[in-house]
Structure 1
């Protein structure tokens, strides 16, 4: 592996190490530094179509710092350390993601083949399945990470920061009326695990089944049933809907046999195992619906008071869906409700950057879906599926921190594929003698980009 490729390989294949260190999703900020060095040495830098929307999103977020000290109507709170830390963390992640996209797009296909990048995502899928199983069978597993030991209490003690740096196997929640674990390892919370495994599953199937040899296909046959266990025990309705959308997309794009086989196998597994009971119990206990309705409506009202630049960070609203007197207290530190903007990336962008920022976010991914829709290669179809999932998940999942990294890597794969598509596996098509003449060397002196 060439030296320039190590930052992305360290991010994806080395994710368990980042998680154990206490960096986890914030590892993108760390690896963005050597990525930026690689970019600096390769000037001029190529920029994909649509990247200007992300840069405007980043610029708008910088401006939103002006309103950090303000509170929209119906909310409360002072300009605290937690609010400032949350803002700085998001700004660093948004910036690091822009660096990562440019870095990936400016590596040649000789340095980083498309299939290598896809299979690195497949490795992270294996890690995610292992973390999910850990959350199901050892939900109490947790430990103090090195980063956690080094941070002062006024930073590490913040609940938002603690979620990011404290490794835990699962979140214990009363979704079914009693305490039940929802897997989250190696990510920051259970919903992040749900969105991430659905995206990683797409790339895992492309890299390990579509382009896989016999051993990789055996691994797929073993890992998919194992993945079904934490997927069901996650009690994650958004994840389940996302998988249904993925199946519908594959059927629409002309792969009904694959979809039919997968649905039949999944249905058989549910009927013959205790998983069907768990799914039924979850659907009968939609306890979070009222909470989401309250926070979403409050978020929209708050964003309307600063529609152009938002408020830079989340806010706490007075009351909840049933009373105006709820909130954290000294005797009940876990009481209250989620802050505004915590129920999906769209709502987070609304409260932090107003309607203008939300439009830029949606426009970035919607534009990618439109531009790359006609790429019929396996990577092209997988990437456009991920863009669809992003646009769905923005209503129910926060993209920050780890999920956005996977979304932007998928975008970079689409961009790179538009320059040199990776077609079907050679074993899946008959070999034909080439009738084309060898390509002439570039006269521009920039032959390094000929396959970029």
Structure 2
């Protein structure tokens, strides 16, 4: 694509290539550089309402860096390169998301029409569906990316970095008591795939159904039907709940024939799903809430740690002493169930609390909640979709990490709402 919209097209349409190169979610950091240069040359730059909240969020994160060497009670570990790398990467993602938001918001309708941007997100949805199918059919597929090859071993081997730079199709986990694949391609982990797919699905429906020709609508129905397979095999309860909430939101916010058609379509889809071989898998997952104990432990430990630095947090995640099953930490031959994720890994809210304290959590939530309040009256398809995404952002705070690829999609969705304002 020519013109100033090329970085946005490179991010969304070129994402499979970024993923194969090992950049994936970090592609926004790379593309934020030319975006910032172009914005500087286009001065003055318009900013949306709520802009100051995100600036304060970044300032708060910078301040929290003073606590990187501190350890709250009940945690262990020393200040090392891994903690500094994680802090720097998260800071880069927060800054890049702001640049992306400003860049998209400052492009004119002629330079990047709203519908074209929405349909770019729709193409990424199709990419995510293809990646999901790959994760279901070949969950062990992975390869060493070019970026991974050039990184020093001590950086590339860090678990957080490894998730970002090493492309994988899926994770095989014993969620139901036996090994089953959970798709994650082309994103960084399975939960990111679920959250991203729900956001992209919203924009796909707008671009390919609401504003689509008859041919596009037929393709849209087929694509959503195919997407049901990796959605179910993801075993992602958060994704399933979010899709249900999205349906309720639309029924409440639309009226007349649209509401009737939506209810009829939802009923038909539910019946078709109930009669399909996918339904028993959902029932098994709902009967196997094995991850609840893990989440309860890490959330409680995160809240307890935050009490000792409630305003600015600790700059990054920490490891807790023990786990939900044992006072020891780490997997051993006699205790394969021991060990747990870092504190703050069970949702953006908990990550913000441990890394930036209550201040960071309030600023983040206020930024997206403000967008809901300001644009609630916009009942255009883009307005309804954008507000729905902002609602899902707040819901996902409780269960999903909102950094890396999700944050880029949130920023673009925010920009779409901003551009849609009169």
Same fold (TM over 0.5): yes
SS at match of 1:39: helix
Highest CA radius of gyration, 1 or 2? 1
Contact 1:208 1:217 in 2 (8 A): yes
What is the correspondence of 1:47-86 to structure 2 with a 5 Å cutoff? 47-86=47-86
Which SS does the other structure have where 1:171 is aligned? Answer: strand
Which residue of structure 2 lines up, in the alignment, with residue 243 of structure 1?
Answer: 243
Deviation at 1:325, TM superposition (A): 1.4
Helix, strand or coil at the partner of 1:136:
helix
Match of 2:252 in 1: 252
- Distance across 2 between alignment mates of 1:348 and 1:290: 18
Q: Give, in whole Å, the separation in 1 of the partners of 2:72 and 2:311.
A: 14
What is the TM-score normalised by the length of structure 2? 0.97
Shift of 1:258: 3.9
Q: Which moved more, 1:269-278 or 1:114-123?
A: 269-278
Are 1:288 and 2:309 matched, yes or no? no
Contact 1:22 1:145 in 2 (8 A): yes
Show CA shifts across 1:167-215 (max 9, x none): 1110111100011110000000000000000000000000111111122
Deviations 1:234-287 (A, max 9, x none): 000000000000000000002432432332233223222211110011001000
Distance in 2, matches of 1:325 and 1:7, equals 48
TM-score by length of 1: 0.91
Q: CA deviation at 1:409?
A: 0.6
Could you tell me which residue of structure 2 aligns to residue 7 of structure 1?
A: 7
1:393 pairs with one of 392, 396, 406: 396
Closer/same/farther in 2, CA of residues 99 and 330 from structure 1, 3 Å limit: farther
Partner of 2:5, secondary structure, is helix
2:354 aligned with 1:370: no
Please give the alpha-carbon distance, in whole angstroms, between the structure 2 residues aligned to 1:201 and 1:348: 26
1:408 aligns with 2:414: no
Alpha-carbon contact 1:2-1:111 (below 8 Å) kept: no
Tell me what 1:120 maps to: 120
For 1:106-145, list aligned pairs within 5 A: 106-145=106-145
> CA shift at 1:329, angstroms?
5.8
> What is residue 105 of structure 2 aligned with on the other side?
105
Moved more, 80-89 or 198-207: 80-89
1:355 to 352, 358, 372: 358
Q: Provide the residue aligned with 1:37 in structure 2.
A: 37
Of 272, 275, 279 in structure 2, the residue corresponding to residue 276 of structure 1 is 279
Q: Partner of 1:326 in structure 2?
A: 329
C-alpha displacement of 1:301: 1.0
Alignment of 1:189-338 (within 5 A): 189-254=189-254, 255-328=258-331, 335-338=338-341
SS of the residue corresponding to residue 116 of structure 2 reads helix
Q: How does 1:20-31 map to 2 (within 5 A)?
A: 20-31=20-31
**CA-based RMSD:** 1.4
Gapped regions of structure 1 (runs ≥ 5): 420-452
Alignment: residue pair count: 419
Task: Using the TM superposition, give the Cα deviation of residue 328 of structure 1 relative to its aligned residue in structure 2, in angstroms.
Answer: 4.6
CA distance in 1, matches of 2:308, 2:53: 23
Q: Which runs of 5+ in 2 are unaligned?
A: none
> 1:441 maps to which residue?
none
